[in-house]
């Protein structure tokens, strides 16, 4: 793996392409760059579910950083990327990361101490991702990050309206001359390799040409998200793995390709690699819902306390176990102290007397000296939190606990009241979650599993496609419907105490329930087709850019929550297994 003097070693010769990929261990699984949500603590949580051998095959990306701000603003760097340990608070006129992250590579008065991001002991391999549209800004930002990562990645896939207005991400795909300059500038001037992440275009041929431009500019690795730029929000739909397979078949054999899209569960990882022929598979939203997605599930009979499995061998990691692991990482690495002593996670057969003590009793005890320790232990309303790892806690928990809080709204409300950096308040939420999980397990055991029986979700799509779907015997599941998410929900569904995917409604389902509407042009096409005897769903599957929805571009932007300014999507109350809006995606 590439290293640097800042991490205690001599810089290695710059490698390119497959030689570079092999030098970092030929990773097969990749934590995607996710806006404000692939920060250090979450990467560490993901790695914690892997054995040492499996960890050698895992690569992680930072969240997407804005290159110009990263270059010009020390405050932006310090609040997003904690590569070196801040100096003591009594150091006069010094700022965190004031050495090599200061923008002055010749400043050598004090060797910086590695801290979190890119630490060679536990956060490698790591790629740092930037969005940019100016080669000079991108290069200067990349040089600041280079000592603390293995490669710098250019984001060419962000589909948001803010990327359109700022002219970056997926909105550079019409300006491939600029894309070439951005990548080539890094390739020629950066001491570490450059990579890029793209979305597919309207045709396979156009996508192949675009990928060729990216590689010709000097990208060592290309990640392909199998969705078009228009496939976002309610129009996200399904990623097209055939495009990635087409690139694999038509690009030079030595090209390193990562596949991205449609990864909801562990089994999807192997399916994607087999279908696309990619070298590695990247997960974004699947990883947010279940950070253990890359690890092999424990064998039957060896579940321990963290993993739950039913009689049909369907299971997953318990949300209280994941939550607890996450908070222990926050304490150990981010807050730099030992995690609190905790009781063993409850399993059937354990003493249940602790459940008789209400959370309110614990809160009353903490009103004394414990509450006075809030600042020391990581928060409180009086402090303004700037740590990217603490700011991300609450949004992560809303994703992880999505199915849980659709049932336990008191936990949802308690989490919503937590302020950024208030770790004691989050610990109280953890206690509530552990109690609810224990009660759920007890009730499940008492009723023989009947406590989890619910009506099967039914498709609500009212408009039929012009072409009849394949016959039932052609599908593995007789309930298969290409226009419905019901089969996917059924496949992924677990009890609410198990970490599990959040399934989006497909575009036609969103149209049927009024979440989106056809443009005037598409309405006219539908009316004309209806008169001719065919019902057409014009362009709502993300295949073409004509569907713009009913609310305009601004409604596609992430919505801030008013407390941490990080988006926390809401659950569809009528169909709690489905997400109502856009999740975080890099």
Q: Which of 158, 385, 418, 492 is catalytic?
A: 158
50, 229 Cβ separation under 8 angstroms: no
DSSP string, 226-287: SS-TT--GGG-----HHHHHHHHHHS-TT-EEEEES---SHHHHHHHHHHH--SEEEESHHH
Token pair, residue 389, equals 């790892």
523's CB contacts (< 8 A; 6+ apart) are none
CB contact at 8 A, 214 and 177: no
Q: Determine the Cα–Cα distance for residues 575 and 586; give it in Å rounded to an integer.
A: 26
φ/ψ of 396, rounded to 5, equals: -60, -40
Q: Helices (DSSP H) in 114-159: which residue ranges?
A: 135-145
Q: Which of 97, 137, 195, 211 is nearest to 586 (CA)?
A: 195
E runs forming strands in 122-171: 126-131, 151-156
158 part of the active site: yes
Q: Is 197 helix (H, G, I), strand (E, B) or coil?
A: strand
Let me know: does 263 contact 293? Beta carbons within 8 Å.
Answer: yes
Q: How far apart are CA 13 and CA 420, in angstroms?
A: 42
Query: What distance in Å separates the CA atoms of residue 404 and residue 398, rounded to the nearest whole number?
Result: 9
The Cα angle at residue 58 between residues 56 and 64, in degrees rounded to 5: 140
What the block records as the tokens of 32 is: 């995607």
Instruction: Map residue 260 onto helix, strand or coil.
Output: strand
Cβ count near 543 (within 10 Å): 16
Torsion, Cα 239 26 43 580, to 10 degrees, reads: 0
Reading the block at residue 236, the tokens are: 């996200």
- Active-site residue set: 158
């Amino acid at each position: 793996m590439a290293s640097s003097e800042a991490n205690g070693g001599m810089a290695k010769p710059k490698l390119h392409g497959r030689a570079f990929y092999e030098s970092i261990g030929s990773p097969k699984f990749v934590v995607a760059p996710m806006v404000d949500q692939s920060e250090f603590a979450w990467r560490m949580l993901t790695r914690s579910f892997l054995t040492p051998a499996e960890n050698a095959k895992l690569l992680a990306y930072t969240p997407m950083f804005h290159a110009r701000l990263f270059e010009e603003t020390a405050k932006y760097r310090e609040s997003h990327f904690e590569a070196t340990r801040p100096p003591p608070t009594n150091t006069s006129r010094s700022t965190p990361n004031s050495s090599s992250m200061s923008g002055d590579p010749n400043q050598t008065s004090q060797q910086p101490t590695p801290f979190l991001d890119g630490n060679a002991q536990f956060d490698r391999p790591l790629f740092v991702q930037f969005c940019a549209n100016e080669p000079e800004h991108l290069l200067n930002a990349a040089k600041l990050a280079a000592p603390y990562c293995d490669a710098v990645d250019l984001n060419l896939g962000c589909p948001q309206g803010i990327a359109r207005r700022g002219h970056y991400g997926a909105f550079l795909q019409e300006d491939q001359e600029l894309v070439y300059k951005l990548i080539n500038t890094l390739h020629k001037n950066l001491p570490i390799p450059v990579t890029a992440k793209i979305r597919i275009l309207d045709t396979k041929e156009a996508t192949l040409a675009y990928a060729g431009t990216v590689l010709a500019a000097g990208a060592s690795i290309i990640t392909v998200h199998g969705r078009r730029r228009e496939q976002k929000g309610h129009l996200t739909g399904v990623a097209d793995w055939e495009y990635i397979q087409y690139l694999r078949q038509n690009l030079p054999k030595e090209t390193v390709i990562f596949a991205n899209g449609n990864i909801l569960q562990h089994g999807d990882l192997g399916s994607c690699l087999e279908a696309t022929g990619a070298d590695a598979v990247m997960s974004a939203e699947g990883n947010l819902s279940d950070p253990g997605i890359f690890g092999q599930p424990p064998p039957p009979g060896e579940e321990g306390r963290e993993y739950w499995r039913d009689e049909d061998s369907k299971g997953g990691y318990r949300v209280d176990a994941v939550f607890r692991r996450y908070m222990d990482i926050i304490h150990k690495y981010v807050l730099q102290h030992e995690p609190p002593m905790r009781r063993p996670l409850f399993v059937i057969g354990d003493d249940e007397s602790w459940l008789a003590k209400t959370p309110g009793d614990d809160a009353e005890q903490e009103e004394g000296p414990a509450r006075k320790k809030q600042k020391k232990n990581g928060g409180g309303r009086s402090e303004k939190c700037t740590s990217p790892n603490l700011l991300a806690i609450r949004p992560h928990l809303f994703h992880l606990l999505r199915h849980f809080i659709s049932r336990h709204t008191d936990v949802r409300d308690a989490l919503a009241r937590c302020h950024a950096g208030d770790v004691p308040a989050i610990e109280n939420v953890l206690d509530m979650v552990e109690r609810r999980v224990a009660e759920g397990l007890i009730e499940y055991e008492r009723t023989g599993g009947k406590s989890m029986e619910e009506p099967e979700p039914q498709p609500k799509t009212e408009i039929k496609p012009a072409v009849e779907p394949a016959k039932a015997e052609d599908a593995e599941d007789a309930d298969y419907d290409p226009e419905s998410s019901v089969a996917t929900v059924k496949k992924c569904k677990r009890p609410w105490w198990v970490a599990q995917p959040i399934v989006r409604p497909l575009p036609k389902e969103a149209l049927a329930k009024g979440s989106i509407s056809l443009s005037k042009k598409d309405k006219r096409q539908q009316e004309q087709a209806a008169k001719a005897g065919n019902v057409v769903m014009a362009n709502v599957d993300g295949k073409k850019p004509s569907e713009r929805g009913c609310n305009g571009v601004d409604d596609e932007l992430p919505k801030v929550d008013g407390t941490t300014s990080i988006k926390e999507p809401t659950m569809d109350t009528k169909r709690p297994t489905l997400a109502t809006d856009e999740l975080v995606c890099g």
